[in-house]
């Protein structure tokens, strides 16, 4: 009968192993390989010079004493002798991959396209399956496999009933655009937009260019230390009123913002003096100094709201407050509201008429050392598309047109004057505007959106009849399923399970309902699976975290389900639950000696152990090289490993 091994798992976020010292020198979660006789670190153990090794991991610091149930020592494997090693294995982590399916042209094969008779309605069936669908349906893991089908019937261009068009087909560009429109506006279960789960984009190849006239844009980013939240975003947005600023990430006290600028312009450097203080800090980033134990106040005074007025305010409060921390929060109707910090629990008005209000206390404030600016970093290229509208206006009594008035009324667009009908004194005007959204994806032809221009003196703009499609085109629609890992955190680790299964999709012009035979003889549009699903491997939130949690029982670190207790005792798994880890495993025998319970004679036993180590993706090289050195001796039956 096969022997079941004892299993333990160790995980570290440190990409190297201990280079010297003993097991007592290990830092928190640091892993090292040690000579079993000397307990000194070895990085290339050679058998038989090093007859046996142990692999140890440093303990994590804890707020409370470890108590009698935990010894104050590193976690260690059993003694591993080179001849007793059964196998080495390694597995690289793998990031997940979503599913991509094309209907019609797949981006390569020009024999495929969206070809369909002009006088027939087209039905496209999109079937979704997997755990994400089960979540929508309220299903559980004990129910049957979950599927859900959406049907789309795109609105086709009208056909001339007085002409023989039996052999005519719909223009593939029109069909693709109509289908994408139907998909992107569809809401599914619970009122959720379907585009949250499946994204549809156009794939096209033409003999002559196809698409809108575009304007080149650039995405810029900046990472600054700020207060975060809506206040931090508002401070950045206030400096760039002509652009839309978005926060894309927040890590510790650092926020990363993005904006898109068109027409070759460069955004002005960000003025860091707008946010010279960062409240509630214990440590400060470079360029800031920590000032402990401050009180926060607002001061309202009548002034002109200029930079000079702010400088005057700071000067007035030099003696009683940390004047460098002062910022203007708002200015309206001749009144400015400032925020300032002081070490005093009471702050007297420096000038008659100032209204001082205590907001509260803060643990500490990072104060900027000197007012400075920071440039934006140039990123990916994007495009905005142009669209032209037209309106016909009758000239005034003097025979003058409205070009000047239109340019003033639509400053964000370009107004041009067309022909004038001298018989009725009417002139056509054209307004070209840029799309509201950007396209920063060079691999997909995504749709652009425009806000219809407002009427001018009651006259409504109409879209100019301009063709944006090329000639000799083959078209397709690309369907991309979403792949979103379910986030977990240690405070609710046990309550939120890891979700393994991604969203699968199938696309067809044939009804997947086996009881419906009506579409079996209809025209079929080719479907291609461009990219299949890949499951995440080595994901921190997955089974490896469960292995580490269970292994901790072996070392007396029982899992505490109460987050308050875990926080009070400083307990942590030490796992980046959204990170990826490479896996290295060693299977080996351990010789043990015990007395037979009945005979009294000594009995030799062998225990099989399988220990697994997890390193951040791409950083297990030193550990693997050390193990390979240990098993690379003459006569060894164990092969070295790579990852």
What digits encode the pLDDT tens for the residues 473-486?
Answer: 899 999 999 876 66
Q: How many CB atoms lie within 10 A of CB 222?
A: 18
**Domain 386-463 coded CATH 3.30.70:** yes
**What's the rounded Cα separation, in Å, for the pair 294 and 341?**
6
**What's the rounded Cα separation, in Å, for the pair 105 and 202?**
9
Buried/exposed 373-392: b ≥16 CB within 10 Å, e otherwise: eeebeeeeebbbbbbbbbbe
Q: If we measure between CA atoms, which residue out of 123, 116, 202, 97 comes closest to residue 159? A: 116
At which residue do the structure tokens 């000696």 appear?
A: 593
Contact in structure between 39 and 73 (CB atoms under 8 Å): no
| Segment 32-38 mean pLDDT | 95
Mean pLDDT is highest, among 66-70, 415-419, 543-547, 569-573, for 415-419
Contact in structure between 363 and 293 (CB atoms under 8 Å): yes
pLDDT at 66 over 60: no
What digits encode the pLDDT tens for the residues 72-101?
Answer: 678 899 999 999 999 999 999 998 889 999
Q: Is 513 helix (H, G, I), strand (E, B) or coil?
A: coil
**What's the rounded Cα separation, in Å, for the pair 445 and 440?**
10
Assign 186 a pLDDT band (cuts: 50, 70, 90): very high
Quote the pLDDT of residue 597: 47
pLDDT at 126 over 60: yes
pLDDT at 515 over 80: no
Q: How many CA atoms lie within 13 A of 475 on its CB side?
A: 25
Instruction: State pTM to two decimals.
Output: 0.61
pLDDT at 44 over 70: yes
Q: What is the DSSP string of 518-554?
A: TTTTS----EEEEE--B--BSBTTSHHHHHHHHHHHH
* Extents of the domains making up the chain: 6-93+540-631, 100-210+473-531, 277-370, 386-463
Quote the pLDDT of residue 132: 83
pLDDT at 286 over 80: no
| Segment 518-544 mean pLDDT | 83
Cβ within 8 Å of residue 299, ≥6 positions away: 313, 317, 337, 338, 339, 340, 347, 349, 354, 355, 356, 357
Quote the pLDDT of residue 602: 52
- Three-state secondary structure string covering 135-201: HHHCCCCCCCCCEEEEEECCCCCCCCCCCCCCCCECCHHHHHHHHHHHHHHCECHHHCEHHHCEEEE
Q: Tell me the percentage of the chain whose pLDDT exceeds 90.
A: 34
**What's the rounded Cα separation, in Å, for the pair 100 and 287?**
47
**What's the rounded Cα separation, in Å, for the pair 319 and 300?**
18
φ and ψ of 293, to 5 deg = 50, 65
**171 Cα distance to chain centroid:** 37
pLDDT at 164 over 80: no
What digits encode the pLDDT tens for the residues 301-313?
Answer: 999 888 889 889 9
Assign 37 a pLDDT band (cuts: 50, 70, 90): very high
84 versus 288: which is more confidently predicted?
A: 84
Quote the pLDDT of residue 138: 76
Peptide bond between residue 48 and the one before it cis (omega within 30 degrees of 0): yes
199 is written with which tokens?
A: 């994204």
**What's the rounded Cα separation, in Å, for the pair 588 and 605?**
14
pLDDT at 1 over 50: no
């Amino acid at each position: 009968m096969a022997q079941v091994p004892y299993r333990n798992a160790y995980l570290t976020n440190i990409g190297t192993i201990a280079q010297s010292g003993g097991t007592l020198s290990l830092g928190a979660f640091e892993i090292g390989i040690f000579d079993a006789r000397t307990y000194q670190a070895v990085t290339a153990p050679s058998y038989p010079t090093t007859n046996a090794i142990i692999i140890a991991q440093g303990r994590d610091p804890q707020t409370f004493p470890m108590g009698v149930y935990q010894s104050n020592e590193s976690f260690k494997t059993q003694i591993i002798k080179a001849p007793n090693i059964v196998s080495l294995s390694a597995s690289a982590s793998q990031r997940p991959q979503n599913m991509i399916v094309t209907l019609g042209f797949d981006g390569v094969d020009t024999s495929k396209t969206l070809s369909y008779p002009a006088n027939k309605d087209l039905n496209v069936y999109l079937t979704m399956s997997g755990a994400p669908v089960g979540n929508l349906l309220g299903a559980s893991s004990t129910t049957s496999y979950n599927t859900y089908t959406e049907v789309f019937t795109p609105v086709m261009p009208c056909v001339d009933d007085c002409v023989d068009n039996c052999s005519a087909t719909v223009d593939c560009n029109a069909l693709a655009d109509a289908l994408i429109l139907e998909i992107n506006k569809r809401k599914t279960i619970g009122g959720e937009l379907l585009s949250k789960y499946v994204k549809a984009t156009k794939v096209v190849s033409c003999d002559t260019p196809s698409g809108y006239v575009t304007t080149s844009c650039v995405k810029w980013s900046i990472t600054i230390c700020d207060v975060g939240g809506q206040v931090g975003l508002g401070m950045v947005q206030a400096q760039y009123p002509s652009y839309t600023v978005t926060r894309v990430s927040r890590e510790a006290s650092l926020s990363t913002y993005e904006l898109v600028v068109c027409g070759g312009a460069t955004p002005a450097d960000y003025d860091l003096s707008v946010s010279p203080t960062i409240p509630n800090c214990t440590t400060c980033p470079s360029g800031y100094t920590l000032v402990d134990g401050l009180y926060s106040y607002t001061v309202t005074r009548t002034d002109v709201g200029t930079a000079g007025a702010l400088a005057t305010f700071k000067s007035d409060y030099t003696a009683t407050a940390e004047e460098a921390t002062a910022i203007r929060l708002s200015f309206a109707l001749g009144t400015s509201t400032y925020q300032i910090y002081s070490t005093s629990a009471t702050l007297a008005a420096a000038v008659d008429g100032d209204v001082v209000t205590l907001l509260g206390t803060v643990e500490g404030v990072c104060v900027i050392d000197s007012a400075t600016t920071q440039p934006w970093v140039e990123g990916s290229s994007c495009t905005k598309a142009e669209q032209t509208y037209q309106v016909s206006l009758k000239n005034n009594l003097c025979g003058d047109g409205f070009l000047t008035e239109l340019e003033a009324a639509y400053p964000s667009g370009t107004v041009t004057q067309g022909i004038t009908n001298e018989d009725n004194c009417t002139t056509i005007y054209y307004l070209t505007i840029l799309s509201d959204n950007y396209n920063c994806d060079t691999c997909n032809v995504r749709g652009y959106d425009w806000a219809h221009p407002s009427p001018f003196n009651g006259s409504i703009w109409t879209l100019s009849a301009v063709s944006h499609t090329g000639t000799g085109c083959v078209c397709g629609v690309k369907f991309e399923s979403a792949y979103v890992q379910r986030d977990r955190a240690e405070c609710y680790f046990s309550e939120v399970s890891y979700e393994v299964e991604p969203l699968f999709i199938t696309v067809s012009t044939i009804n997947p309902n086996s009881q419906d035979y009506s579409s079996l003889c209809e025209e079929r549009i080719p479907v291609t699976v461009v990219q299949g699903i890949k499951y995440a491997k080595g994901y921190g939130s997955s089974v490896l975290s469960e292995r580490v949690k269970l292994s901790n029982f072996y070392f007396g670190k029982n899992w505490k389900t109460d987050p308050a207790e875990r926080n009070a005792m400083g307990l942590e798994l030490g796992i980046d639950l959204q990170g990826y880890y490479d896996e290295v495993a060693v299977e080996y025998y351990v010789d043990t000696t015990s007395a037979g319970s009945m005979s009294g004679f000594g009995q030799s036993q062998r225990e099989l152990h399988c220990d697994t180590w997890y390193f951040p993706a791409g950083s297990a090289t030193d550990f693997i090289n050390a193990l390979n050195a240990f098993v690379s001796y003459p006569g060894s039956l164990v092969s070295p490993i790579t990852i």
